[in-house]
Amino acid sequence: MRWQPARLDPTGDNGWALVHCQQGFLFDHRGVLFPRDWLKRLNLPLISEQGLGYFEGEPVFLFELAHQAEVPGASWQGLRQFMLQDEDVDRFRMLGFAAQIGTWVNQHRFCGRCGQPMRQHPSERAMQCSACGIHHYPRISPSMIVLVTRGDELLLARSPRFAPGVYSTLAGFVEPGESVEQCVIREVQEEVGVAIHTPHYICSQGWPFPHSLMLGFHAEYAGGDIVIQPEEIEDAGWFHIERLPALPAPKSIARYLIELYLARRSGAAEPMLPS
């Protein structure tokens, strides 16, 4: 594995750095990693610097910026575009981790209890308030994603946020006090109005948009007609396995759930788990 997260001391100038702001990364013709000492000579609107880990044995740090500054010879690109274009799984895992850490740091610059500035904890990956002592650790929001099936048909839906023509599985965030299985049943009922049998867990994927852990399920249709939740769903329907619409990106857990079901239905080899 070429990417290994680790907590690194940001003192000194050695190593490489990623530059992140608002789910976007700075890149040039050489890629997304820049010499750290060179970046420090630029007048960047730096919020925080975080030690991330090692890529191909070299230390990597994160420069989290207040806004997307112009850097000669470089451009900004969104994390989703890197996911769609980059075949390098380890590099995308590094970018996903960096995006989550950068978002967390940006959102915890001030204490939510007393309003005082937060600072990095000296021995943990945490933000600490010197005034009241509260700690904030990187945020992970549990969410579920489920493929609902009815024999040779898949229940797929599209959000207004999707690329044109793309349909996907159903997803939603876990509410306080409920299990993930309860969340699956509730979200399916809310979003498309149908009932399902007991959902079965398949796999999970860290989903850095911006800080979710997606827990993937499969569930069989139990009854009811599709009635979409208009504020969440633009369209939904049953699609035969031989007449599927445009599907989510190959690296996504949604695509994996679909391809896994298709493979099991046909007896083909099962796809690789998403990284």
Residues belonging to the binding site for a divalent metal cation are 171, 187, 191, 232
DSSP 84: H
* Cα separations in angstroms, 176 against 8, 136, 142, 182, 228: 34, 19, 10, 11, 24
Amino acid type, 60: V
Please give the annotated binding residues for Zn(2+), written as ranges.
111, 114, 129, 132
Q: Which residues are annotated as a binding site for substrate?
A: 80, 124, 137, 205-212, 254
**Number of other CB atoms surrounding residue 43 within 10 Å:** 6
> What residues contact 252, with CB distance under 8 A and at least 6 apart?
83, 205, 274
* Residue 224 backbone zone (phi > 0: left; psi -120 to 50: alpha; other: beta): left
Q: Binding site, residues?
A: 80, 111, 114, 124, 129, 132, 137, 171, 187, 191, 205-212, 232, 254
Q: Look at strands 200-207 and 212-223 and give their pairing.
A: antiparallel
Q: How many CB atoms lie within 10 A of CB 190?
A: 13
